Each structure stands twice: as C-alpha cells, then as structure tokens.
Amino acid sequence: MKNRLGFGSVCARERKEIGFNPSHQLPIHATSSFVFDNLQEGIDVFAGRKPGHIYGRFGNPTVDTVAEKIASLEGYGLAEQPVCYLLSSGMAAVSTLAIALLKSGDKILTQGNIYGGTTSLFNQILAPLGIGCELTDLAQLDQVADQLKRDPAIRMIYAETPANPTLACVDLKGLAEVARNAGVWTAVDNTFATPYLQQPFALGIDFIVHSTTKYLNGHANTISGAVLGMDAGLMRTKVYAALKLLGTNANSWDAWLVHNGMKTLALRMERHCDNAQALAEFLEQHPKVARVNYLSLPSHPDHELAKRQMRRFGGMLSFELKGGLAAAHAFINRLELCTLAPTLGDVDTLVMHPVSMSHMNVPKEIREAAGITDGLVRISVGIEDAADLIGDVGGALEG
Ligand SMILES: Cc1ncc(COP(=O)(O)O)c(C=O)c1O
C-alpha cells in the first residue's frame, strides 16, 4: 500500500489472525463472508472446483464443524455417515426439511402428540402452500401401511419418539419398513432421546431433526436446530438449497455453544437417566400421585418398545396428581429447587404444567384422550443430586 492509511481505514480494515498453530478450542468465526487471495481463487471456489467458504449464509467453519460433529453422533457405529446442517432453531430444521422435499399436492402423515409448534407449522404454514397433513396413530403399523396404500399423496411420515408429555413411543424399525415398502420418506424428531440414547438411522429412518436448543446444548443458552439425512445427494442438493435460500442457517456463536455443550452429552445423559429413574420410583409410590409416565417403569405401555430401541430411558417424565388442576398449581408453586420454565433438556430440573402452558389451546376432550389431564405435570429432570430433587418434589407434594 503506497500511502499511509487514514485512522478510519485502520479502524475498518480486517486483519489477518495472529498465530502459528491451531487453537485448542473451536474458534468462533464471526464473519459474514470469506475473502480470496486473488480473482482466480474466487472463481474456483464459486465454481466448486476448490473447497472454500463464500458467504456466511452458505456455510461457516464454526457452524460446519459442529454440524459434522452431530453427524458423527447420529451416525456413530454406522458404515455410512449422514450429512448434517446446523440451523437457526428446531423449527428451522423441520420447516427446511419439509420445504426442501415436498411440493404442493404432497402430504405429511404424522401423529397427534408431536411438539405443538410442529403441528402449527404443518397446519398454518405448509397447508396454505398445498402441503397437507394427515394425523394417525403411528404406533399402529398396519393402519399406517393401509393409509399409505390408500393415499399416494403421502410422501413423508413424521414421528416424534418419545413424545411430549406422556412419552408415548413409535416403533422406528417397523415404521421405517412400512414406509420403505411404500416408497415414502421417514423423518424423526430425536430431540427427547438424543443420539446417545436412540439412533434412528440405525433403525432405517431417512431423516432426523433436532432442537439442539435442548439436550445437545444442555445449558439453556442457545436456540438452534439440526437436520440430518443418510441420502447425501438429497441433502447436498435439495436440503442445502432450501437452507441457503430460506436463510435458516445457524450462526457461529450458537454453534459454538452447542459444541461446548455436546462435549458432556454422554455424561449428562447418564445422570439425567439416573435422576429420572430415582424420581420416577419415588413418585410411583407416593399416595398423592395417580400415575407416572416414565419409560423404565413396567407400567408404561411403551416400556418394552423403549427397551428395544433406546439405550436407557431418558431424562423426561410426567406424572398425574390425584388432586387435579388445583393440586398441580399448588405443587408447582411450592417447588424451591426445580424451576418453572417452558423448555427441557437442561442441566437444571425444569417443571411445566402442559394444560396451563404448552397445551392451553388444545380442546379438553382431545388432550384428555391423549392422557394430558388437568393434574399432569412434566419434569425435565436435571443433573442435580437426586436426594435434593426428591426432597424438593416430596416437600412440594406434602404442602
Ligand atoms: C421435541 C421438540 N421438537 C422441536 C422443538 C422446536 O425447537 P426450537 O424451539 O429450537 O425451534 C421443540 C421445542 O420445544 C421440541 O420440544
């Protein structure tokens, strides 16, 4: 540069990173674009002849590194590895996948007890675009096979297992088989189980979505999501094009937070499972509790299925108080250690009253048929000392 730069130019100019060897921890690439040494390099990267980043919405080294790590967890032990993209939320993952693969006239077949936001996405956003949504009980595989035969417009089955808040499960191996025979894609929300407890790809499922906001991050400090698929062609063309053009990519800061959280995923999940087991056993024998939904308990209708397709039974449970609505309100208001918050999968224990919060707009007869009664309380069991949790829950039950 011939002339000395002005002060403002020195302020504005980007500098090359100082350093000779790689940092131990993943750097946060807070940049909207990437530079080229010369025009030929730019042309080669744009043309795909040379690997490289172009623009932050198309990819970022921090974000891509974290996506690859999630792919290695969902593909752990498999001969082939899935392709993963990290997105701005769990909802971004579901919407990007659906818009990438489906067109007007196609239908999604799903179940009534998936996350409420996903149901609203299907009904309020996809339906007006001509992508329909049919509800069925995905646990009834003969019924599903029959429905696929009768309705060729169904192009994708979308399942959540275990599902909120009763932890009802779907037989993923059976579902994948039924769908494959009909030439229909399967997509599973694996947020509740995480790849540590359940690997849908190993059971034949085509696509996985995550709200990485939950267990993968584990510390309640990001909103982000992931979409994964075993068909690399579809992922790298259709799904990638959709995320790029919808702009549903994750940012590097959220990606870094998810990465940091995932380092302890295995440890956290073991502790979540231990604590949930201890709390479920305590609640099951309590005289004020009518019913406990936890997958390890032989009383749960999906206990045997969960044993087959999950490593352990997870950190989520729900239970019904004999005293109904008033007892649920009083119980929640008396808790001191557990926190009332509408999320899950964090290191601290979170409590939610579905009827007053997540399911407040669902008609009473529909939610009660799904086991979501006035006295039902959901707990995302954290990693505190089990004795403290039981003390807090026990104290709140006594009043
Ligand atoms: C099971 C499940 N899937 C998807 C979502 C949506 O995720 P996000 O809030 O990250 O968009 C949620 C949110 O609570 C969820 O519980």
Per-residue pLDDT, 361: 80
- Give distance in angstroms: CA of 214 to centre of ligand 1: 8
Question: How wide is the angle at C-alpha 184 spanned by C-alphas 178 and 186, nearest 5°?
Answer: 80
* DSSP per residue, 39-108: HHHHHHHHTTSS----BTTT--HHHHHHHHHHHHHHTTT-SSPPEEEEESSHHHHHHHHHHHH--TT-EE
| Rounded average pLDDT over 229-258 | 98
Q: Which atom of ligand 1 is nearest to the CA of 342?
A: 14
Residues within a 6 A CB radius of ligand 1: 89-91, 115, 117, 160, 189, 191-192, 211, 213, 223, 225
CA nearest ligand 1 atom 15, residue: 115
Owner of token pair 């659906």: 98
DSSP-derived 3-state class of residue 18: coil
- The mean pLDDT value of the chain amounts to 96
Cβ–Cβ under 8 Å, residues 89 and 212: no
Taking the centre of ligand 1 as the mean of its atom positions, its distance from the CA of residue 136, in whole angstroms, is 21
Residues 6+ apart with CB under 8 A from 282: 390, 393, 394
Number of H helices, E strands in the chain: 16, 12
> Distance, CA 143 to ligand 1 centroid (Å)?
27
Fold designation for 39-262: Aspartate Aminotransferase; domain 2 (3.40.640)
Question: Whole-prediction pTM value?
Answer: 0.96
Average pLDDT of the residues in 23-34: 96
- The atom of ligand 1 lying closest to the CA of 192 is 1
CB neighbours of residue 367 within 10 Å: 21
Residue spans of the domains in the chain: they are: 39-262, 265-398
- Is pLDDT at 221 greater than 80 in this prediction? yes
| ∠ CA 380-382-384, rounded to 5° | 150
pLDDT in tens, 151-194: 999 999 999 999 989 999 999 999 999 999 999 999 999 999 99
The band of 2, judged by pLDDT with boundaries at 50, 70 and 90, is: low
Atom of ligand 1 nearest to the CA of 223: 10
Among protein residues, the one with the nearest Cα to ligand 1's atom 2 is 115
User: What is the residue with the minimal CA distance to atom 16 of ligand 1?
Assistant: 115
What is the mean predicted confidence (pLDDT) over 35-63? 97
- Measured from the Cβ of residue 61, the count of other Cβ atoms closer than 10 Å reads 16
Fold (topology level) of 265-398: Aspartate Aminotransferase, domain 1 (3.90.1150)
The atom number, within ligand 1, closest to the CA of 94 reads: 4
Q: How many whole angstroms from 208 Cα to the centroid of ligand 1?
A: 13
For residue 106, what pLDDT band results from cuts at 50, 70 and 90?
very high
pLDDT at position 1 is: 63
How far is Cα 68 from Cα 249, in angstroms, rounded to an integer?
A: 14
- Residues taking part in catalysis: 57, 115, 189, 214
Ligand 1 centroid distance, CA of 223 (Å): 9
pLDDT value of position 322: 97
**Percentage of residues in the chain having pLDDT higher than 90:** 91
